[in-house]
A = this chain, B = another copy of it.
Amino acid sequence: MKSGVPKSEESGDLVIGSLGERAVANPLHKPPHMYVTDEQKVTVYSSSEDLLPYFQRNEMPPMFERAGPREEIFFNPSELTCGIVTCGGLCPGLNDVIRTIVLSLHWQYGVQKVLGFRYGYAGLSSRAQLEPMTLTPQTVDSIQHEAGTIIGSSRGDREVGDMISALRKHNIGALFVVGGDGTFSGAHELSQEIARRKLPIAVVGVPKTIDNDIFCSERTFGFSTAVEEARHAVAAAHTEAKAAWNGVGLVKLMGRDSGFIAANATLANSDVNYCLIPEAPFSMEGAGGMLEHLEQRLARKHHAVIVVAEGAGQHLFKESGPVGHDASGNMKYKDIGLFLKENLKRHFQNKNIPLILKYIDPSYTIRGCPANADDSAFCLMLGQNAVHAAMAGKTDMFISYWNHHFTHVPFQAAAGKRKKIDTCGTLWQTLLATTEQCDFIQCPVDHK
């Protein structure tokens, strides 16, 4: 299977939600040449191996609906109130997304009122009693230079009925939900209940995962910035490692289920010698294990750099009992960074080999950065397309990106799935060839 490519049985039958007939002319200033129809589709396939079977059966491959402004829209902008909520951990670009949604609603469509619900779904709960912020072009004028999210975020549960009460209380017609797959599963429930009650409220998602692992989108905002910042931590680890006799720099990077940040930071700093990710189990002990390999490398070179994604090596903890869940419902992982740090120290101490290990965990300094230029431009397009979708009455869906096109994807298509590194693909195979760590990484089944 190609990584991240939805099979037809997985997403083909899911339908983009719609609030109903569109009867309002799009007020976009000097209508540009970008009006898109619901019939325009984007293929997710890219090579002859992908396409051949479809040609043989003479049927079009699965495709996503293209995002963009529709010539007719559902809402009357002058009567519409919109809401924005940001959920989960911080990610570079959140303020860019908020700003773009506000500016696009205001300048492109003429929507007069936008509210920012505070601290994630908590701001939509009756218990918390948090007043939403009013967001105007003035409020958001230069927030893109600040990291974080000006409306706050949180992890945690939500009660759908409670949320609908809050939306109705504030007369919200379109709610923009910026978050990850946990957040989207809540947004799906909310959309379903709205549909059941036949309310004219659109729920449109902007995917946020610093790990870049949302299913059905080849890219998410903040990831490029995260790799750039991760690189500084990796460079520091290399500096510390080289400066010591038998120096080892160990960096733990984000990546609960998918090692994209770790792998890309490794390719960007080819001084990394070992890169450990959740998708590629590895052995520590024994002949051919990582410890032996590291021992041999130190004997030869006297320094090494290890990058580990936070979700890597969970198989090494298997015996140690059940794990808990955090407030977002994510399984709490064992700390592979500290595990490696302690195991390395113990191993070399037992063998009486000097080891100077420096451990770096840059997590929040990465999450707490403003977006780089790539991500800022990407956030602008994501945010505008989310606004176009909501104005057109699309609901129960999020904006994704495929083959240079922004697309619409139903929330459910991404539910419970994650994009992962294809360990037989170019990214990981290039990394293996560059780091030469393949001895102790379990190789995937040869599928040729």
Contact = CB atoms under 8 A, between A and B. Distances in A.
Interface string A421-448: 0011010011011101011000110111
Contact of A373 (B61, B245, B264, B361): B264
A235 B368 contact: yes
A40 interface: yes
A365 B406 contact: no
B433 A108 contact: yes
Interface residues of A, number: 115
B29 A436 contact: yes
A68 interface: yes
Interface in A107-131: 107-108, 118-119, 122, 128, 130
Q: Nearest 10 pairs between A and B by C-beta?
A: A236-B368, A34-B429, A46-B403, A267-B377, A148-B239, A268-B373, A239-B368, A41-B48, A147-B239, A32-B429
A46 B432 CA distance: 30
Given A29-B433, A376-B267, A434-B380, A153 B367 contact: no
Contacts of A43: 45-48, 50-51
Interface in A24-63: 28-30, 32-35, 39-43, 45-52, 54-55, 58, 60-61, 63
Given A32-B429, A426-B34, A404 B46 contact: yes
A195 to B, nearest CB: 28
Contacts of A380: 267-268, 270, 430, 434
A183 interface: no
B404 A218 contact: yes
B154 A245 contact: yes
B33 A244 contact: no
A297 interface: no
B361 A433 contact: no
B145 A232 contact: no
Given A426-B34, A429-B33, A268 B235 contact: no
Contacts of A249: 364
Interface string A232-248: 11011111101111000
Interface in A338-382: 356, 358-362, 364-365, 367-369, 372-374, 376-377, 380-381
